[in-house]
Amino acid sequence: MPIATVNPANGETLKTYDALGAEEIERRLAAAESAFRTHRTTSFAERARLMHRAADLLDGDAQDIGRVMTTEMGKPVKQARAEAAKCAKAMRWYADHAEELLADEEPAASDAKDSGASRVIVRYRPIGPVLAVMPWNFPLWQVVRFAAPGLMAGNVGLLKHASNVPQTALYLEDLFRRAGFPEGCFQTLLIGSAAVEGILRDPRVKAATLTGSEPAGRAVASVAGDEVKKTVLELGGSDPYVVMPSADVERAAKIAVTARAQNNGQSCIAAKRFIVHTDVFDAFAERFAAGMRALKVGDPLEEDTEIGPLSTEQGRADLEELVDDAVENGATVLCGGGRPDGFGDGWYYAPTVLTDITPEMRVHQEETFGPVATLYRAADLDEAVAIANDTPFGLSSNVWTRDGAEVERFVRDLDAGGVFFNGMTASHPAFPFGGEKRSGYGRELSGHGIREFCNITTVWHGA
């Protein structure tokens, strides 16, 4: 895949970049190792000062970098600016909380005494350069939620970003440099996927984090496992959105549109499978389909656009295959179901709702990465849980109910890394984020995320 900015709204190639050669990759790995030796010794106060500076710069750049993201991967520009603001918020959160999250811990004095020690301390120490393989769909946020905790922990970062967002990738390196982080603390590697294995096998690289497809996760985890290096993986998602009879159906349907259509439907944690109790199915379906149909599809640089193009032509083709397969096998199209008229060479797909889904359809098991929703009818709570869990993924989930007993049942039984009640899934720097099953392992964000790439060290003092 070429490293290039191709505007998905019209298919125009705006900029191209040469991949780094072996000599430059070696220079950057050496710079990362050198930077770590110094950065690991800096104080939390100094790291926080630099991270706050990065957040301030990002706030000032939001208008410009928002347009860059939109022209690279097609998200509506208002959402792009909101992504930049969210990244600045996360930077400040880690700047303000990292020292507390990584503070020394002391086991009970009785346990220390029982071990023959006068004192025992558990300390979180940085491990070194961490390779991040990141996707295009949230080209700032996916990186910052790795970079902010990593840099605050004393690690240094090497970013292999998706090949269709090179300008955003280069911006991130420049942002941390302008903030004052020393040379080598955060570097963007403009490389193809074939170069990842060699970098991950380099002994100077201590771990890897990947957000992306299941095949990409398997490949990186396999190499890291062979090298006995830790990985954190956040892979696909096909999140359920369950609506029970006690729910506010009108509000549930309104939020469902946003939950499915955010980022042009290209989000791992977007709700994708809408599982509605039969008592409220018709009311929900009518409102949901009307809301999806009413979304404004248009130029993502226009302020009132709600759905822009898909990020790649292949991504649209993949989505079309899933919808066509479902329709051929008996699915009913409540709205959408094809390319909207009037967009020339842009990679657009109309907001779509499918119902009468059966297990034989590919869409029942595969992730729909675009503005396509599948709608299921459930007879009762047991069937709702069964449908929700009938997927290889387990990233997050959404449930609408006012029944306390149902709340406890869904928390107990849903296969997911998060359960969001009466609202849509969202990530926040204070809360752990990640999944189970084929959605990956490990956690990002919160204290759990910053500790993933730390050496948890027992310090034992004899009596």
Please, are residues 333 and 285 in contact by the beta-carbon 8 Å criterion?
no
Q: Which residue out of 83, 234, 367, 444 is catalytically annotated?
A: 234
Number of neighbouring beta carbons within 10 Å of residue 12: 12
The torsion angles phi and psi of 249, rounded to 5 degrees, stand at -65, -40
Sign of torsion over alpha carbons 115, 118, 124, 129: negative
Residues 6+ apart with CB under 8 A from 280: 243, 244, 245, 247, 249
Task: Check: CB of residue 185 under 8 Å from CB of residue 151.
Answer: yes
Is-catalytic flag, 268? yes
Q: At what angle do helices 381-389 and 404-413 cross, to 10 degrees?
A: 30
Tokens of 405: 């007993």
Q: Burial, 413: exposed, middle or buried (Cβ in 10 Å; 0-12, 13-18, 19+)?
A: middle
234 is catalytic: yes
Distances (CA, A) of 125 to 92, 149, 164, 207, 456: 21, 13, 35, 14, 6
Residues in CB range of 176: below 8 A, 6 or more apart: 50, 54, 147, 151, 185, 186
33, 72, 83, 268: which one is catalytic? 268
For the annotated catalytic residues, the residue numbers are 234, 268
